[in-house]
Structure 1
Amino acid sequence: MDKKRTIVVALGGNALQRQGEAASEQQQRVADETVRQLLPLIQAGHNVAIVHGNGPQVGNIVLHEEAINTPDVPSLPLEDSGAMSQGLIGFWLQQAFHDAFMVNQMNNRAVSVITQTIVSLSDPAFQNPTKPIGPFYSEDEAKTVASE
């Protein structure tokens, strides 16, 4: 007797946002492609859980926020931008699954869950942050951005 398995897929934020393809429509297309690759697992009777990163996406939101930062429209704090990116990526993936289920006449549903992590302010990891967010710049680009 076959056992139904839950397969956990780790999807990095950079997997959704390819180099030079930061537009929402482009990332949605990648989400669609990803779901098409995962669909056979679901059709075989398995559950699929996706955990994902959001570094490039949260970085883009932060850049947007900084670009409009005025006294009347202040930018959001980083944790809000993180939540926005989680929700957005969850929406893209959930929509891609919904569309794939409809096309394939499958009576399945997808859900997305926003997560939070409790941390200690005294955690020494805060002294040396290692998770990059946003775009990667060449040395010349970094100098230009730093001077602006």
Structure 2
Amino acid sequence: MLVVAALGGNALLKRGEPMTAKTQRDNVRRAAKELAQIVRDGHRLVLTHGNGPQVGLLALQGAAYHPEEEYPLDVLGAETEGMIGYMIEQELENALDHERQVAALLTQVIVDRKDPAFAHPTKFVGPVYDKKEAEGKAREGHWTIAQDGDKWRRVVPSPKPMEIPDIPIIQLLLKHDVIVICAGGGGIPVVYQKDGSLTGIEAVIDKDAASALLAGKIGADALLLLTDVDGVYRDFGTPDACRIDTLSVEEAHALSLPAGSMAPKVQAATHFVAAGNMVGIGRLEDAVKILAGQAGTRISV
């Protein structure tokens, strides 16, 4: 079975944890042990990952160093894809005793420069702040901010992924039995210019949407959307909260989910699911059980 596993930003860097290299390395090491078991069970594996906290941190560092020379979000996305991809590659190789080849690929993803998302930023990046501090940061950096739970964060445009020009390279690596890490942070956002060339654009693509597009393009059998919550819940955050074991596409569309919760994952899932395919949503540490239908929320036709 060909499995695409998307590691959420909250799975690799939990809320409240310091954004240090050691913290991220420790979390990646734990993730790699679980993912290695998927490979040992005989499945082919492609990995994607989030980058919201990391790309926001890099933006802050750049602004503190040379505010007038800030790097654009597409360049910061490429930096985080390299940084996180390196850690996952190394720790997965270690977890597999170097018996399998692993490659991290910087991946461009084409978006439409006319996407309405550019006028309505919604993608959370960077650390959380209280409201007063966030408002101050917004004034200084000309940010757009939005509430994230009981805190506030910067939000940036998150256009829909349209095309992944690196698909032939990913397929070539898979043909040679390489475990591929790609489309990190949703991929590097690029747009076509009038002459047909590509150039980067200021955005951060939703990792789950890009992962669903990737899974469909490479003919994956299963898509795992892994986070720090054990599945999709009805009435989440209330005394009546109940985890959903299985969902059809129709049932998934009918769910009422807040935009900042599982909504992007469920939406991405419905775009991928087709005859014979499945999507599993749940905790990273339950990845093997989710694939076997023993944990998480499973979405299928």
Same fold (TM over 0.5): yes
Alignment of 1:104-115 (within 5 A): 107-115=99-107
Structure 2 residue ranges without an equivalent (≥5):
141-301
For residues 72-120 of structure 1, the C-alpha deviation after alignment (integer angstroms, 9 at most, x for no partner) is xx33222111110011111010010121122xxx521111111112222
1:126 equivalent in alignment to 2:118: yes
Give the match for residue 13 of structure 2: 17
Which residue, out of 59, 71, 79, partners 1:76? 71
Unaligned runs of 5+ in 1: none
Q: Do the aligned residues in 2 keep the contact of 1:8 with 1:48 (CA within 8 Å)?
A: yes
Task: Please give the secondary structure, in 2, of the residue aligned with 1:29.
Answer: helix
CA distance in 2, matches of 1:44, 1:70: 49
1:33-70 residue CA offsets vs partner (Å, 9 max, x unmatched): 00111222111211121111111110011011001016
Counterpart in the other structure of 1:62: 59
Deviation (angstroms), 1:8? 1.4
SS, match of residue 107 in structure 1: coil
* 1:140 Cα deviation after fit: 3.5
Greater relative contact order structure (CA < 8 Å, 6+ sep): 1
| 1:52 equivalent in alignment to 2:44 | no
Distance in 2, Cα, partners of 1:50 & 1:17: 17
TM-score (norm 2): 0.43
- Contact kept, 8 Å, 1:16 with 1:27, in 2: the verdict is yes
Counterpart secondary structure, 1:58: helix
Structure that is richer in helix per residue: 1
SS at 1:133's partner residue?
A: strand
Verify the 8 A CA contact 1:14 1:55 in the aligned structure 2. Answer: no
Alpha-carbon distance in 2 for matches of 1:15, 1:67: 28
2:123 partner SS: coil
For 2:132 and 2:138, how far apart are their aligned partners in 1? Answer: 10
Aligned residue for 1:45, secondary structure, equals coil
Higher strand fraction (1 or 2) = 2
Does 1:141 pair with 2:133? yes
1:37 aligned partner, one-letter code? E
Distance in 2 (alpha carbons) for counterparts of 1:147 and 1:128: 18
Paired position in structure 2 for 1:34: 31
SS of equivalent residue, structure 2 residue 70 = coil
Corresponding residue for residue 8 of structure 1: 4
TM (normalized to structure 1)? 0.84
Q: Is the 8 A contact 2:17 2:23 kept in 1?
A: no
1:10 is aligned with what amino acid? A
Q: Percent identity?
A: 35
- The residue that corresponds to 1:99 in the other structure is 94
